[in-house]
């Protein structure tokens, strides 16, 4: 049994890599999806976010309007930090629970896919960290085609994040993804095979 933390910069290809891992049989937990649950009415996260950012972020249907909240935190680093201080521990609790459930079900390989794994300090939830990297120019191109961002907007998103080097320095497994999707699939497959050997070993911390 092995828990992998899969991370990487925006448009590095983590979701694509996670999809290949799922096809190989891993149980993938998507931290982004858990992030949405933190904003659901009736949860502790919801209450804390509303207390911190005001009732004007609550839409008519009682849910948090993420666009209004986004307007308060994007481009305002202190506010973003405040939101992260609330949201990250809540997401971590949900992730820990999902990992526990998957272990109880007997899933052999569990993948926590999380863009902010390292920033949020969730390494203690996983046995090993896998980092997907792509050249900055490639990430910019993907953000332009996938998200319709301008070059400047794409660069701003990339520069606001941890660099490839910082992430790679903390990785157990590095997956370069500046080539084709077939290259990525082959690399993921190779690491999967090596992982199967490690997964057969008794569970232990890194
Ligand atoms: P992330 O989850 O890191 O943001 P994604 O896996 O969603 O990244 O990939 C970003 C975009 O780039 C997606 O549209 C995906 O299909 C595409 N993509 C990923 N890897 C490659 C690749 N090697 N070649 C071409 N396109 C890719």
Distance 202 CA to ligand 1 centre (A): 33
Residue whose CB lies within 8 A of the most ligand 1 atoms, among 7, 11, 178, for a mutation test:
11
Q: Are residues 140 and 164 in the same domain?
A: yes
Q: Are residues 58 and 139 in the same domain?
A: no
pTM of the model: 0.94
Q: Provide the number of structural domains found in the chain.
A: 2
Q: Are residues 40 and 79 in the same domain?
A: yes
Q: What is the pLDDT of residues 83-128, one digit of tens each?
A: 999 999 999 999 999 999 999 999 999 999 999 999 999 999 999 9
Domain that holds residue 44: 32-106
Q: What is the pLDDT of residues 13-38, one digit of tens each?
A: 999 999 999 999 999 999 999 999 99
Q: Are residues 102 and 114 in the same domain?
A: no
Give the closest residue (by CA) to ligand 1 atom 21. 181
Gap between the Cα atoms of 162 and 115, Å rounded: 10
Q: Are residues 102 and 116 in the same domain?
A: no
Q: Are residues 74 and 126 in the same domain?
A: no
Q: Are residues 197 and 148 in the same domain?
A: yes
CA dihedral sign of residues 158, 145, 174, 97: positive
């Amino acid at each position: 049994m092995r828990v992998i933390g899969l991370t990487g910069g925006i448009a590095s290809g983590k979701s694509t890599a996670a999809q290949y891992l799922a096809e190989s049989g891993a149980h993938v937990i998507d931290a982004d999806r858990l992030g949405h649950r933190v904003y659901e009415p009736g949860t502790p996260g919801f209450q804390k976010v509303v207390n911190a950012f005001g009732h004007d972020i609550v839409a008519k249907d009682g849910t948090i309007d993420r666009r209004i909240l986004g307007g308060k935190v994007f481009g305002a680093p202190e506010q973003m930090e405040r939101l992260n201080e609330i949201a990250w521990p809540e997401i971590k609790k949900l992730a820990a629970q999902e990992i526990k459930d998957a272990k109880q079900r007997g899933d052999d390989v569990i993948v926590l896919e999380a863009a902010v794994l390292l920033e949020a300090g969730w390494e203690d939830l996983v046995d090993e960290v896998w980092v997907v990297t792509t050249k900055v120019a490639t990430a910019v191109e993907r953000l332009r085609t996938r998200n319709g961002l301008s070059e400047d907007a794409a660069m701003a998103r990339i520069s606001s994040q941890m660099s490839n080097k910082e992430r790679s320095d903390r990785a157990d497994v590095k997956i370069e993804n500046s080539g084709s999707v077939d290259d990525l699939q082959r690399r993921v497959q190779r690491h999967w095979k090596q992982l199967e050997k490690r997964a057969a070993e008794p569970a232990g911390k890194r």
